[in-house]
Amino acid sequence: MNSIFEIAKSGLFSARQSSTIVSNNIANANTPGYTRQRADLSATVMRKNGYTVGRGVTVKQVEQLRNHLTDQQIMKKDSALGNLNEQNRVYKQLQSTLTSNSGNGLDTQLSNFFNAFSQLSNNPQDISQRNALLSKAKTLMAGFHNAANNLENIARQTKKSAQSRVKKINDLLQNLQSVNKEIARSHANGKPDLNGKDQQTQQLKSLSKLVNVGKIYNKNGTVEVRIGGITVLGGGQVSTVKAETAPGKHVFRLRLDNGKLIKPGGGALAADQSMIQTVIPNTEQHLNNMAKTLVQQVNKIHSSGYGLNDSVQRNFFNSTNISAQDISINKSLLNNPGNIAASSAPGEAGNNNIAIKLSNLQNKKVLNNQTLGSNAVSLMSKPGNRITELKSQIDTQKSAKQLLFNQQQSQSGVNIDNQLTNLIKYQNAYQASAKVITAGRQMSNTLLSIV
């Protein structure tokens, strides 16, 4: 009889542990990152007189139904998606900066400016045409200034968000360090910290969205983390990542507190770095080249002609201000529109040769084997084209991640429908068994009374 009680006791203990695990699974069904747990039961046996006698059941271990390979693949997708989404965000800002909803973009402003010279050539003596030309030139200048200032703002904002990401990386590394300590302590006590493992995976996933993460799992369940091949967490030590920037310069570097430079390699931070160091400077450079070419080409023709008032040859734009940010119209022209050179000879008010030459400039391939208008269109359409490419890449990565996520859910997720169905089955069987046992008990009582 004693052995029966021992077996039942071990059974009750195992059943209690199993039920607690099922309850925990269900309570965490909606917890992001929670991995389903399972009690691994094993029979306890004893050898007696050469026979194996069952001694009940024991919970050998509680295991997590998590596939590390799937986790690894999901983290890679997270890293790629983090990178693409951040690129997409910055390109959208660039697009809204360079294009105009009213259709009055840099290309239109350039076209209006050159068309104003064409209008002037029809009536070179007309002051109102000269004023109209100056007005178009001012609009074009404002267009260049706005675009340059907005690009600078985007660069500044991107640096700011990159810096906040660096702070987040440091927070995540600190959290991982704490989780590592808990996991190591639990492992030393012989009780694996499964919730800690879930937290560890969640923190690594968050980190993967920001940078490319290399991971090495130790036997005690702790994890060593590398960024750009350099260890930032391991051996009980955690490094601090610092962002290096220079005001007004297109520099963004990551340096560890031990002085080593690291490369993000992927994730949103790599996208930020690429935007700050390459994409935004290239866009600025293109805009500046356009401004410089416009100043040089227009001045070259304009300074060979004459205005209405004297025989002085003047530049149309200030020749020293050749960047998009400070491009400006010659003050003597603004003060006296008569000084705009339309004529190729002094004292010939009706001469329109220079105005025609300047008007024709819009069709000349003066930069990158393209006209200035085409350069503007190319500059404006680049972010849009890139956004289209990114959108398709994001969609592909998202569906690949969804597939992996579904795979992970089938392995690790808690399916409440299944749990509920099982519980109903159990409850019905228990009730049926109890009913039969009660009937048997009455029978035994009758027999005992007559034996």
Partner 1 sequence: MKQTSENSTNASLNRLKKIINQLIDEYEENCSLLNDQIQAVINHDITSLNELIERQVRVYETLKSSEEIFKKHLKEVRQRHDLSSQSLQEMLNDLEEPTQTLNAMRDRLHAQVRKTEGLRNQLMDLLNFAKRQNAEIFKAICEAGSDKMGGYNADGEKQRQSNSYAINQKA
Residues that bind partner 1 (CB under 8 A): 1, 4-5, 7-8, 10-12, 14-16, 18-19, 22-23, 26-27, 29-30, 41, 54, 56-57, 409, 413-417, 419-420, 423, 425-427, 429-434, 436-441, 443-444, 446-451
Distance CA 255, CA 157 (A): 20
Least distance to partner 1, CB of residue 37, Å: 14
Nearer to partner 1 (CB atom), residue 246 or residue 432: 432
For residue 349, report the phi and psi dihedrals to the nearest 5 degrees: -65, -30
Q: What is the dihedral of CA 136, 379, 280, 79, to 10 degrees?
A: 140
DSSP-derived letter for residue 41 is: E
For residue 84, report the phi and psi dihedrals to the nearest 5 degrees: -65, -40
Nearer to partner 1 (CB atom), residue 188 or residue 447: 447
- Residues whose CB is less than 8 angstroms from the CB of residue 333 and which lie 6 or more positions away in sequence, other chains included: 134, 314, 316, 339, 340
Nearer to partner 1 (CB atom), residue 34 or residue 252: 34
Q: Taking Cα atoms as reference points, which of 10, 121, 160, 192 lies closest to residue 360?
A: 121
Maximum CA pair distance of the chain?
145
Distance CA 403, CA 398 (A): 9
Task: Find residue 231's DSSP bridge partners.
Answer: 226
Nearer to partner 1 (CB atom), residue 340 or residue 414: 414
Give the helix/strand (H/E) hosting 262.
strand 261-262
Query: How many Cα atoms are found within 13 Å in the side-chain-facing hemisphere of 217?
Result: 11
Nearer to partner 1 (CB atom), residue 13 or residue 360: 13
Retrieve residue 128's tokens.
Answer: 């109102």
Retrieve residue 267's tokens.
Answer: 């994730």
Angle of helix 106-122 relative to helix 372-412, nearest 10 degrees? 170
Nearer to partner 1 (CB atom), residue 69 or residue 448: 448
Residue 305 identity: G
Cα separation of the two ends of the chain: 22
Cβ–Cβ < 8 Å for 245, 159: yes
Nearer to partner 1 (CB atom), residue 309 or residue 427: 427
* Helices marked H in 361-415: 372-412
Retrieve residue 204's tokens.
Answer: 């690594």
Work out the burial of residue 381: count CB atoms within 10 Å of its CB; fewer than 13 is exposed, 13-18 middle, 19 or more buried.
middle
Nearer to partner 1 (CB atom), residue 321 or residue 411: 411
Nearer to partner 1 (CB atom), residue 27 or residue 216: 27
Distance CA 289, CA 351 (A): 32
Nearer to partner 1 (CB atom), residue 15 or residue 349: 15
